[in-house]
């Protein structure tokens, strides 16, 4: 079936929130599953309720209307130049390997081109090797590594 990409509507919020647990599957070892899932739900709820200027939530679906995945897109400001750039904040699919990620990322790039940004960033957990290979196949390259040191328990 053909995959269509569209902007999210208010009635997509439940579907988008249902995928928040996907981010906990490859979470950093020092974060709890609930911390990642609840934090993701809170940010996505905020994105639906009070979207930032230039942000978008894209929905991938079959022509019949069955949602398959989403991408949450935001604008960030580059530290070095002060210019705005695109950032894929969150992307998740209901089932891995069903061919949804590539059209979502292509639509994300098209969206960011339409708002006039020069480059796009995204974060991927170091443990998520499959996602790293996927993004590299789309032309993304590692720019930096973020290190963390946990000083105490919450």
**Domains of the chain with CATH codes:** 3-137 (3.40.630.30)
The two most distant CA atoms of the chain are separated, in Å, by 50
- Burial per residue of 117-148, b for 16 or more beta-carbon CB atoms within 10 angstroms, e otherwise: beebebebbeeeeebeebbeeeebeeeeeeee
* Tens of pLDDT, residues 16-72: 999 999 999 988 888 999 999 999 999 999 999 999 999 999 999 987 788 999 999
CA dihedral for 61, 94, 21, 76, sign (positive or negative)? negative
Per-residue pLDDT reduced to its tens digit, 63-89? 778 899 999 999 999 999 999 999 999
**HSE (side-chain half, CA atoms, 13 Å) at 138:** 18
């Amino acid at each position: 079936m053909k995959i269509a990409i569209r902007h999210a509507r208010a009635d997509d919020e439940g579907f988008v929130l249902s995928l928040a647990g996907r981010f906990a599957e490859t979470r950093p070892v020092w974060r709890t599953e609930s911390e990642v899932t609840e934090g993701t739900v809170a940010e996505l709820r905020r994105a639906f309720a009070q979207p930032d200027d230039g942000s978008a939530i894209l929905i991938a679906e079959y022509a019949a209307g069955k949602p398959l995945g989403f991408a949450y897109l935001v604008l960030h400001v580059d530290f070095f130049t002060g210019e705005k750039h695109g950032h894929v904040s969150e992307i998740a699919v209901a089932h891995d390997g069903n061919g949804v990620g590539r059209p979502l990322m292509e639509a994300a790039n098209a969206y960011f081109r339409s708002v006039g940004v020069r480059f796009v960033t995204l974060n991927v957990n170091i443990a998520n090797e499959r996602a790293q290979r996927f993004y590299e196949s789309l032309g993304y390259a590692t720019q930096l590594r973020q290190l963390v040191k946990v000083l105490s328990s919450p």
